[in-house]
Amino acid sequence: MSDKDTLQNIKKLRELTGVGFKDCKIAIDENNGDLEKSIDFLRKKGIAKASKKMNRTASEGLVLVHEEKNQISLIEINSETDFVAKNKDFIIFCKEISELNFKVKGDLNQLNETKMKSGSMVKDALVDLIAKIGEKIFIRRAKFFDDKDGLNFYYVHTQVEKKIGKIISVVKLSNVSEDKKDIGNKICMHITASNPISLDRKDLDKDIIKKETEIIKEELINSGKKGDIIEKISKGKINKFIADNTLINQAWIMDPKKTVSDILKESSVNSQIKIIDFVRFKVGEGV
């Protein structure tokens, strides 16, 4: 590695960790210029408790979707501030990452080891961007929908540019006829607005139901309810919780008197339309 490359890596490592020049140079030399290994080296030596920037919260950013021939990829890339999410360099980086994410079918490990147009690996280009912009930037999660077993649809909410927004929902439907394809986009809009946890009751995590039941019962006890009354009321509340949080049981946003299940039946022609899979990415949710 040339002296110029060494100096550039030292600068990046100092920016990421806040550690002095001398210690960063030792770390870079010991790890042949590998920044990730250099950060670990400094942490093991007790010099850097953690990467200074990478230890901060990044709950802003963008969600991007890429579609080709009924295949869809989705990726969320986070920054610390909305100001950076609007930065030209950040958006250009995100667009290229979205294209590469489609090629690797949402595999983040493979994505990090993929070369960008600049010739740099994604993981190295990310470090370069962090050093340039001065904020934590994080490729958080990705998802890929193949072209098997149905048709894929997506909806972008709070659109920044084409196929870029703050919330993007994707759904895969089977048995959709040509004249009923608009149902896919409508269901994506519903998912964006209603944020279902799972498709149906059987898909809902048992731990979630258990925790919600405990909370409901505790509230009823604290309100003075007893015995059979607690069981009866809690059962009704849990059933409502399940209906509110499972996609096919939710009230349809465009007609709350009907459920999503009702709409699927109404939109079916020869065979029953089924939801095979869905996902909703909202920037920073859960960070």
pLDDT at residue 171 greater than cutoff 90 = yes
| pLDDT band at residue 248 using 50, 70 and 90 as cut-offs | very high
Residue pLDDT, tens place only, 75-101 = 999 999 999 999 999 999 999 999 999
Q: Number of C-alpha atoms within 13 angstroms, CB side, residue 199?
A: 12
Whole-angstrom Cα distance, residue 207 to residue 209? Answer: 5
204 in Cβ contact with 245 (< 8 Å): yes
| pLDDT band at residue 130 using 50, 70 and 90 as cut-offs | confident
* Mean pLDDT score, 202-209: 93
pLDDT at residue 48 greater than cutoff 80 = no
Give the pLDDT score at 176: 95
Ranges of each domain in the chain:
3-44, 60-166
Mean model confidence pLDDT for the chain: 92
Least confident of 15-24, 136-145, 176-185, 211-220: 15-24
pLDDT at residue 255 greater than cutoff 60 = yes
Whether this prediction's pTM lies above 0.85 is answered by no
pLDDT at residue 229 greater than cutoff 80 = yes
Give the pLDDT score at 117: 96
Give the pLDDT score at 39: 85
78 in Cβ contact with 138 (< 8 Å): yes
b/e per residue 204-228 (b: at least 16 CB within 10 A): beeeeeeebeeebbeebeeeebeee
Give the pLDDT score at 26: 92
Give the pLDDT score at 51: 59
CATH class of 60-166: alpha beta
Residue 190, amino acid: H
246 in Cβ contact with 212 (< 8 Å): no
**Can you name the CATH fold of 3-44?**
Helicase, Ruva Protein; domain 3 (1.10.8)
| pLDDT band at residue 49 using 50, 70 and 90 as cut-offs | low
Give the pLDDT score at 226: 85
pLDDT at residue 227 greater than cutoff 90 = no
196 in Cβ contact with 275 (< 8 Å): no
